[in-house]
Structure 1
Amino acid sequence: MVLTLGIAVSLYAQVPKGYAIGDAVANFQAKNVDGRTVSLGDYRSQKGLIVVFTSNHCPFSKAYEDRLSAIDRKFAPQGYPVLAIMPNDPTIYEDDSFENMKVRAREKAYTYPYAMDESQKVARAFGATRTPQVYVLKQTNGQFILEYVGTVDDNPQDVANAQRHYVDEAVTNLLANRPVPSPITKPIGCAIKWKN
């Protein structure tokens, strides 16, 4: 019994805790591909923010790129823009280097900022574990409150066969002042590559 508990505790210690639903998110900064610093404070005029931890090398991240652009085109005009953050250690995958992020953002014509979390502090603060992993924040009384965390939808391989569009559902409900129907879903993607 003691051995089992010890194993459970050590496994739990490796998982970033991060924010829980209903928590206020602290201000953060990351370096955008245009060289400017992006911060949560930049979005004070918005109703909320869709934060997506994503990467260049991960096939799941690539599969969701067009969907994220569609989400940004749909919801940015309504006050919920997308902010993509690349949390990986680029020494593990050259594809995830800042230079390659710039190339990817240009090639795919991202409609939203794509920023590098060089210190990995932002991903750790959120408790992110995968790319892609989405956090929907609603601005309430000057604070950004976590309302949804998880995956974009229920079919990474084929958008046409997705039954549930979780991020779309979350933001649509928040815009209508309704609770998010599924506030937590399991992120589907590649494990974040942490620095040693």
Structure 2
Amino acid sequence: MRLMIIGLWLSVPVLAGVKVGEKAPDFSLNDENGQPVQLSDYADKIVVLEWTNPECPFVKRHLKAQTMKKLSDKYKGKVVWLAINSTHFASQSDNLAYKQISDASYAVLQDQDGTVGRAYAARTTPHMFVVNQGIVAYAGAIDDNPNGDKTEVVNYVDQALDALLKGEAIKVSSTKPYGCSVKYK
């Protein structure tokens, strides 16, 4: 029994990833139309990275509530929003369908081999990162409502973006993400 537990523990991938305050790993990924998007093209901007998987019940719940759409629309023109799908079996056409269903005005990027997800240690969908001028300023959950049952919800990404745009310090810069595990290869 002990060997089985040790074997299971050793088989769990360790994701070190980037931490708040560190330089955000640059990447170039194709969007839902096959066009390359490179993070460093937005080096002087605030960028939200949203790890997503259209099949995840947590993502579907936020899709139904339009959490990401409303937030990305609120900050349109002030913030660059990019969704990243690191699901190893997802395709460009899956991402295009997701973008249409979600009515997202932002790109859905394909990270099929999981290189970018692992560089960020993205663990769940959704898992959110806010990058400010190339530095990770926030990492964690979208909000404090993993069960979807709260009426008063604290949206951590909204708070982080609001603080950054006002030139203030982010009060909560790291939280535990919740959702489905990222389906790495």
Which bracket does the TM-score occupy, shorter chain normalised? 0.7 to 0.9
Aligned to 2:76: 76
Which amino acid in 1 is paired with 2:141? T
Whole-angstrom distance in 1 between the partners of 2:93 and 2:35: 14
Whole-angstrom distance in 2 between the partners of 1:126 and 1:182: 18
Aligned to 1:186: 176
Contact 1:30 1:116 in 2 (8 A): yes
Aligned to 1:61: 59
Cα RMSD, aligned residues only: 2.2
Aligned to 1:38: 37
Contact 2:34 2:92 in 1 (8 A): no
CA-to-aligned-CA distance 1:138-186 (integer Å, 9 cap, x gap): 11xxxx1011111111124548724311000011111112111111111
Aligned to 1:121: 115
| Residue 14 (structure 1) aligned with residue 13 (structure 2) | yes
Which amino acid in 1 is paired with 2:36? T
Question: Cα gap change, 1:99/1:133 in structure 2, threshold over 3 Å: closer, same or farther?
Answer: same
SS in 1 for 2:75: helix
Aligned to 1:152: 142
Whole-angstrom distance in 2 between the partners of 1:35 and 1:123: 19
Matched length: 178
What's the % identity of the aligned pairs?
A: 29
Aligned to 1:110: 104
Report the TM-score when normalising by structure 2.
0.87
Question: Cα gap change, 1:81/1:38 in structure 2, threshold over 3 Å: closer, same or farther?
Answer: same
Which amino acid in 2 is paired with 1:186? K
Report the TM-score when normalising by structure 1.
0.83
Aligned to 2:93: 99
TM-fit CA distance, 1:54: 0.5
Contact 1:16 1:127 in 2 (8 A): yes
Gaps of 5+ in 2: none
Gaps of 5+ in 1: 91-95
Contact 2:31 2:92 in 1 (8 A): no
Contact 1:88 1:120 in 2 (8 A): yes
Aligned to 1:93: none
Which amino acid in 2 is paired with 1:63? R
Whole-angstrom distance in 1 between the partners of 2:41 and 2:114: 20
Which amino acid in 1 is paired with 2:83? A
Which amino acid in 2 is paired with 1:37? P
